[in-house]
Amino acid sequence: MALVIKGFQEKIFRLIPLFLLFYICISEFHTQFYYWKIFSFNLQMIIIYYWVLRDPDLIGYGFIFIAGLVNDVILSLPLGISALVYLLVSFVAAYVRNATVRSSLTTDWFTFVIAIFFGNITYYFLIKKYTQIQIEYVFIFYESLFTFILYPAFWGLFEIYKKFINIKTKK
């Protein structure tokens, strides 16, 4: 019985990053604070990039794809845009994982720029080319900037959580 409960607990702990990703996509969780005019960031990108890079078994590509579709429905974007962007971010993370032997905060942080760049370029291009939605470039720039700036903070938090899961699993 104790083993079953322990196994269940481990599963729950390992599901939390995925749950967080879905919760941010589907709920009213705000990361766009326009009353401060410029402060907004893309937490989904941070979660996807970190976990695909550091522990890909926790968030599957299939779930990232579904989270992207849900995000499109909630934000009223054409279906598939966010899914494609999230998968591109995952691709950059997977490439960095394969290409580097030892990753650190510095390498993760600077390679994250490539992920943000590719992700947001894809967003702009598809929205601009295939929809009537007008985009304020400044907002997108600030969002990219703050997503980049805040990455180390979330990296630290996720590292602590990753260690916590590993301790729980090893016990």
Partner 1 sequence: MATSRDDFGIAIRSALLQRGAKQKFSLFVLILLSIVIFVLDTIDLKPVKILRSAINDGVYRVSAITSSPIKASRATKDFFSEHFSVYKENEKLKAELEGFRKKNFNTLYLETENRSLQNIVEFKQKTKYNTVTSKIILDKNSPYLNSVVINKGSNAGILLGMPVLNKGNLIGRIVEVNYTSSRILLLNDLNSRIPVVISPNGSQAILSGSGESMPNLQYLPENFKIGENNLVFTSGKDGIFFSGISVGQAVSDAGTFKVKLFSDPNQINFVNVVLDKYSDLKGF
- Binding part of the chain for partner 1, among 1-9, 83-91, 148-156, 159-167 by CB under 8 A, reads 83-91
| 110 counts as binding partner 1 under rule CB under 8 A | no
Nearer to partner 1, 122 or 168 (CB): 122
For residue 113, state whether it binds partner 1 (rule: CB under 8 A): no
Indicate the residue among 95 and 154 with the shorter CB distance to partner 1: 95
Distance CA 52, CA 55 (A): 6
Q: Is 32 helix (H, G, I), strand (E, B) or coil?
A: strand
The stretch near partner 1 (CB under 8 A) out of 1-9, 72-80, 106-114, 152-160 is 72-80
Q: Is 76 in the site for partner 1 (CB under 8 A)?
A: yes
Give the whole-angstrom CA distance, residue 30 versus residue 42. Answer: 10
Pick from 84, 94, 89, 71: which is nearest to 25 by CA? 71
Q: Which of 76, 145, 71 is nearest to 113 (CA)?
A: 145
Structure tokens at 3: 């083993």
Tell me the C-alpha to C-alpha distance, in Å, between residue 98 and each of 50, 59, 88, 92, 166: 14, 17, 15, 10, 22
Among 45, 77, 115, 116, binds partner 1 (CB under 8 A): 77
Contact set with partner 1 (CB under 8 A): 23, 26-30, 32, 34-35, 37, 40, 56-57, 60-62, 64-65, 68-70, 73-81, 83-84, 87-88, 90-91, 94-95, 97-99, 126-127, 130-136, 139-140, 143
